[in-house]
Amino acid sequence: MGAIGAGIAALGAGIGIGLIGSRAMEAIARQPEAVGDIRNNMILTAALVEGAALFAIVVGLLANG
Amino acid sequence: MLILALVFGATFALAQDHDHGSHDGHDHDTHETHQPHNDDHAHADDHGHGGSCGDHHEDSGYDPVSTVMNHIADANEFHVWKGVHIPLPLFLYAPDHGWTTGLSSMFHHGHQAVDRYVINHGRVNRVADDSFPMGEVHIDGILHKVEEVNGKNKDVYYVCAKGELFKLDPPSTVDGGFLGGGITSFYDFSITKNVFTLFLAAILLIFVWNAVARGYKKNEGKAPSGIQSFFEVFFVFIRDEVTKPMIGEKHYERFQPFIMTLFFFIMFINLLGLVPFFPGSANVTGNLAVTLVLAVFTFLVTNLNGKKDYWEHIFWMPGIPGWVKIILTPVEILSLFIKPFSLMIRLFANISAGHIIILSLIGLTFLFGDNGQNVGGAAGGALIGGLFTAFMNLIELLVALLQAFIFAILSASYIGAAVEEHHHDEAHAH
């Protein structure tokens, strides 16, 4: 069960980071001169999303063992 | 200022390092779920003349999970290949016996016990039994059993000596048993693989940044040269992309050394961890204790530098109705601790996951090879696993840099939130 939970958490993070990436790409296409700011904020937001997913993965794997 | 920042950056690393050294002694190795693999089997077979020891044979074959967990855990020796180890110094303390020091080679790869200590899967364990003799004792092998403790299956190891079985105590961990550890009968302050790599990274950092600082003294007002030009790129990047926008023009100089130290320290140990042989190969940032110490540093720096506005926004958020404040204050206090906690988990999980994936891919060779029975399968596994490992290593190279960057930029943004001064005439839109 823990492994399934970890998989679902990875799914959620994948969707979340995918959305961040797609919007960042659009924003860069609209405003190529702001690429530095957009990239930094993209990585920062992706890291926050990933953090939530990693919590879920660690908890899922701990519950397993 | 620049030189000051660089030198501070390097010395900070050493200060942190000492901290790790003392912490690592007891709280590493959260994955105490090893099962024996073939080495143990061989031991039990070769030395199974000790009466009762011969009766406990298990048929385990290649166990991918335990092998991987064993490889990402800390160890008291560097394993080069089967039977060849680089020994590391041991500093072991037991409250009922005192200090035991020496090199990990004194255990003869698990064939000798010294002062009740034995080496088991690269880690020093202690015999919990008082009747076991002190001093150097030949042992016939180490047996593994799965026993039910409080409704959970736990791995228990037994030392086999003189025809009798003696139960082993695992190394102490500070998690209080949550991750399978707990305080046991001895403390391990040894220079383990992880501690060795921490020292190595600190020495490298001091060496490199001293050279860079010398370059700034020599080439003052001139173009940088040598190693200085390589690291100036990083320095300017951290300053312009991380500290300045996150902390603000006014305060960033004060925190530049700390952020630089975090970034380079994490980057160096991540990159050393990607080297699969002797000086590297330790999974240092994939160890909760190490990332905990790093996160605690960020927590302390953030909160010790918190301005009045920062604390006001935590305990009594201005500009919102009273009843919302009652809900918001506990959440804000909780978030104070969740921030460093997520820093700790993020680095640990990312680096551990990378190591686990690479080890699993290499493990395909043994899995397809059916433990040496199927040579064609082993070759196929080596081909597939090798190609994917090369690919994964490239991704891990990116992750090593990215995670160092993320740790630095998030720390900078937390510090930035703490030192920011609000102008109270502006609307509170947060």
Half-sphere exposure of B38 (CA within 13 A, CB side): 9
- Asked which of B156, B173, B190 is the last residue of a domain, the reply is B190
Residue to test with chain A: of B346, B401, B402, most A Cβ within 10 A? B346
Question: Which residue range is the domain that position A12 belongs to?
Answer: 2-64
pLDDT at A9: 86
Could you tell me if B76 and B124 are in contact, meaning their C-beta atoms sit under 8 angstroms apart?
yes
Chains A–B, number of C-beta pairs less than 8 Å apart: 35
pLDDT at B296: 94
Question: Which residue range is the domain that position B157 belongs to?
Answer: 31-190
Looking at the structure, do residues B154 and B259 belong to the same domain, yes or no? no
Nearest-CA distance from A7 to chain B in Å? 13
pLDDT at B4: 43
Looking at the structure, do residues B343 and B226 belong to the same domain, yes or no? yes
Per the model's pLDDT, the better-predicted residue between B180 and B302 turns out to be B302
Nearest-CA distance from A5 to chain B in Å? 16
- Asked which of B128, B162, B190 is the last residue of a domain, the reply is B190
Which tokens is B156 given? 């228990």
- Asked which of B159, B190, B221 is the last residue of a domain, the reply is B190
For residue range B320-360, what is the model confidence (pLDDT) as tens digits? 888 888 888 888 898 899 889 888 888 988 888 888 888 88
Residue B72 resides in a domain? yes
ipTM over cut 0.85: no
Residue type, B343: L
Residue B318 resides in a domain? yes
Question: A43 and B349: CB-CB below 8 Å?
Answer: no
Residue B428 resides in a domain? no
Indicate which CATH number applies to the domain containing A36: 1.20.20.10
A58 interfacial to chain B (CB closer than 8 Å): yes
Distance separating alpha carbons of residues B276 and B282, to the nearest angstrom: 8
Looking at the structure, do residues B272 and B291 belong to the same domain, yes or no? yes
Question: B33 and A36: CB-CB below 8 Å?
Answer: no
Looking at the structure, do residues B242 and B387 belong to the same domain, yes or no? yes
Minimal Cβ distance to B410: which of A36, A47, A58: A47
Question: B409 and A54: CB-CB below 8 Å?
Answer: no
Question: B402 and A43: CB-CB below 8 Å?
Answer: yes
Least confident of A39-53, B22-36, B54-68, B230-244: B22-36
**Contacts of residue A17, Cβ cutoff 8 Å, sequence gap at least 6:** A46, A49, A50
Q: What is the dihedral of CA A22, A26, A28, A32, to 10 degrees?
A: 160
Domain count, chain A: 1
Task: For chain B, list residues whose CB is within 8 angstroms of any CB belonging to chain A.
Answer: 33, 179-180, 241, 245, 342, 345-346, 349-350, 402, 405-406, 409-410, 413
Looking at the structure, do residues B8 and B104 belong to the same domain, yes or no? no
Could you tell me if B256 and B237 are in contact, meaning their C-beta atoms sit under 8 angstroms apart?
no
For residue range B389-416, what is the model confidence (pLDDT) as tens digits? 999 899 899 889 989 999 999 999 899 9
Q: Which residue of A has its CA nearest to B350?
A: A54
Looking at the structure, do residues B132 and B186 belong to the same domain, yes or no? yes
- In chain A, residues with a C-beta closer than 8 Å to the C-beta of B345 are 51, 54-55, 58
Residue B18 confidence class, pLDDT cut points 50, 70, 90: very low
Residue to test with chain A: of B345, B351, B403, B414, most A Cβ within 10 A? B345
Minimal Cβ distance to B346: which of A36, A44, A51: A51
**Contacts of residue A39, Cβ cutoff 8 Å, sequence gap at least 6:** A24, A28
Half-sphere exposure of B281 (CA within 13 A, CB side): 15
Looking at the structure, do residues B290 and B162 belong to the same domain, yes or no? no
Nearest-CA distance from A14 to chain B in Å? 15
- In chain B, residues with a C-beta closer than 8 Å to the C-beta of A65 are 33, 180
Residue B17 resides in a domain? yes
Backbone angles phi and psi of B191, in degrees to 5: -80, 95
